[in-house]
A and B are shown apart, each in its own frame.
Chain A
């Protein structure tokens, strides 16, 4: 009888040991996973930069995408998280592209307007140009004009400056959201370069 009772106690002890071991190793595994999540965040930063590069450089596109795929395969537990981030990035990228279209439309309108005002002096020559930095407020009113680069010709600079001063207000920017306005039109450069 005593033998059976000793065997039972031993068995209970072994099971407790097995359970404790399981609990111990299970906790170690969770810690390890959270570290990997940290790495995934770091990878997100890289991905973001690569998306930018893809936008500005088409030939690099395939190579970059391949790199992203390879890294994702190397680290399978991150796949779901990366995909979500990637979707988020894509959404951001789409928003930027949409904004770029609006920015381009407004830019063409501004160019067309100023071309209708600018009276080019006879001293203007091919290759001559003058740059002006414009600061405008949220209503589109030109608040400050700074000559960044002179053409070297007084009449040319004067005529360009006069065209900007006559323009006075870029009304189109009112329709932009604050962020896009801030990025592109709060401060930009006008270059007068006759062709």
Chain B
């Protein structure tokens, strides 16, 4: 809605203060160019490629290629402003690779074209053989400069792959590179989850022929079984303070939601119902848990207060709503069936407005990036199961490279500081 406000209107004395209110914004990417400063090295180009791909994947940047430029300055002093204004470029990013003892530091400056001067200068301290990771940190710095929230290029993804009968739990960079196998099994592995400090993970393994929840320290590799029970234990979810783990178990005869204090091992039962209650997820403040229940006859999302155990139903639209998690304190995302398709949807808890975010057909296991702006999920096309993502701001979708017959159950790490 456009507004014009006349604050003072003294007609004959001729003094007016006009206020024009801008409320809508353009939905278009920020146009930038990335150049190496005073050099044209192989490493520099490699860094520029990684950063360009990181930023392009967000859908919120348009990174110009060298062949699109009218002039190629070697540094800030050589910038011909007119050339860049003609191309409507917002800023030029100058990258400088500082090679010190095999540890590549990357310095970068953001040159604002309309101001015709450097607006920001930063430096990422590199570790040996960490060129890609340093580049991801530069991408995150650039993203934050322009969009005001942290970038997610330097975060990690965890997911499960299956080739023939081999199941692997893998951690990779957010762009799918640098895979590291954490667990290999002949039995299914599902529901991987990061602790909020990114030091531990939890997952469900069927290695003992029933669903069991394990935690694993990422630094030492040490595994712990959460609950010794002959019944099924699944769907682990770390509380925001990492002290508790919520899970689903049939230990009392029916699938119910529980929490366990990881130190005292005290178990608290949250639901008591003849229906199936499963897939718990914590609210950002740790006071509530949302879960899937078929108590109404079809899978729907419910919310329970951890202390008072008061429950309320959150979804009412559609006959299938499951696998929910909080986007923030007022919005949740989940798998929603519309007609015969399974999509990822977002529900505003205040306005009750439901928005279907994806256009693929068999979407499952959505999870949210730590900056709250990207959702990754697994989807199927024929026999191929792969990971896809969508940027909430730009609505741009992307796919991660599908190297496996089956790739599913993604879990996004917290920020790695």
Which residues of A are interface residues toward B (Cβ below 8 A)?
A: 48, 51-52, 55-56, 92-93, 96, 103-104, 107-108, 110-112, 114-124, 131, 153-156, 158-160, 162-163, 165-166, 179, 182-185, 188-195
Q: Complex: how many Å from CA A166 to CA B23? A: 18
Chain B residues contacting A188 (CB-CB under 8 Å) are 17-20
Say how far A26's CB is from chain B's closest CB, in angstroms.
Answer: 39
Contact between B19 and A55, CB atoms less than 8 A apart: no
Chain B residues contacting A107 (CB-CB under 8 Å) are 4, 18, 20
Contact between B145 and A194, CB atoms less than 8 A apart: no
Contact between B4 and A111, CB atoms less than 8 A apart: yes
Residue B42 CB within 8 A of the other chain: no
Chain A residues contacting B22 (CB-CB under 8 Å) are 111, 114-115, 118, 160, 163, 190-193
Residue B16 CB within 8 A of the other chain: yes
Q: Which 6 A-B residue pairs are closest in the complex by CB-CB distance? A: A123-B148, A155-B148, A120-B25, A121-B148, A188-B18, A165-B114
Chain A residues contacting B177 (CB-CB under 8 Å) are none
Residue among B17, B112, B148 making CB contact with A156, cutoff 8 Å: B148
Given contacts A115-B25, A183-B15, contact A122 B20 (CB under 8 A): no
Q: Complex: how many Å from CA A92 to CA B13? A: 12
Chain B residues contacting A165 (CB-CB under 8 Å) are 114-115
Given contacts A108-B2, A111-B4, A184-B18, contact A55 B25 (CB under 8 A): no
Q: Complex: how many Å from CA A163 to CA B28? A: 13
Chain B 15-37, CB-CB to A under 8 Å as 1, else 0, gives: 11111111111101110000000
Residue B90 CB within 8 A of the other chain: yes
Chain A residues contacting B1 (CB-CB under 8 Å) are 195
Contact between A119 and B23, CB atoms less than 8 A apart: no
A-B contact pairs, 6 of them (CB 8 A): A56-B9, A115-B25, A119-B28, A122-B371, A159-B146, A183-B14
Contact between B23 and A194, CB atoms less than 8 A apart: yes
Chain A residues contacting B186 (CB-CB under 8 Å) are none
Chain B residues contacting A191 (CB-CB under 8 Å) are 19-22
Q: Residue of A at shortest CB range from B373? A: A122
Q: Is the interface of A mostly helix, strand, loop or mixed?
A: helix
Chain B 189-218, CB-CB to A under 8 Å as 1, else 0, gives: 000000000000000000000000000000
Residue among A112, A118, A184 making CB contact with B25, cutoff 8 Å: A118
Contact between A52 and B11, CB atoms less than 8 A apart: yes
Residue B83 CB within 8 A of the other chain: no
Q: Complex: how many Å from CA A52 to CA B19? A: 20
Chain B residues contacting A194 (CB-CB under 8 Å) are 23-25
Given contacts A110-B20, A191-B22, A193-B21, contact A93 B115 (CB under 8 A): no
Given contacts A112-B2, A192-B22, contact A155 B12 (CB under 8 A): no
Q: Residue of A at shortest CB range from B21? A: A191
Contact between A155 and B146, CB atoms less than 8 A apart: yes
Say how far A170's CB is from chain B's closest CB, in angstroms.
Answer: 10
Given contacts A122-B393, A188-B18, 14 further A-B contacts (CB under 8 A): A52-B9, A111-B2, A111-B22, A119-B26, A120-B25, A122-B371, A123-B149, A124-B148, A155-B144, A158-B119, A190-B22, A191-B19, A191-B22, A193-B21
Chain A residues contacting B23 (CB-CB under 8 Å) are 115, 193-195
Residue B10 CB within 8 A of the other chain: yes
Interface residues of B in 363-383 (CB under 8 A from A): 371, 373
Chain A residues contacting B10 (CB-CB under 8 Å) are 52
Contact between A108 and B26, CB atoms less than 8 A apart: no
Q: Complex: how many Å from CA A118 to CA B16? A: 26
Contact between A96 and B28, CB atoms less than 8 A apart: no
Say how far A142's CB is from chain B's closest CB, in angstroms.
Answer: 11
Q: Residue of A at shortest CB range from B14? A: A183
Contact between A103 and B18, CB atoms less than 8 A apart: yes
Chain A residues contacting B18 (CB-CB under 8 Å) are 103, 107, 184-185, 188-189
Contact between B147 and A122, CB atoms less than 8 A apart: yes
Say how far B261's CB is from chain A's closest CB, in angstroms.
Answer: 35
Residue among B11, B14, B15, B25 making CB contact with A119, cutoff 8 Å: B25
Chain A residues contacting B20 (CB-CB under 8 Å) are 107, 110-111, 114, 188-191
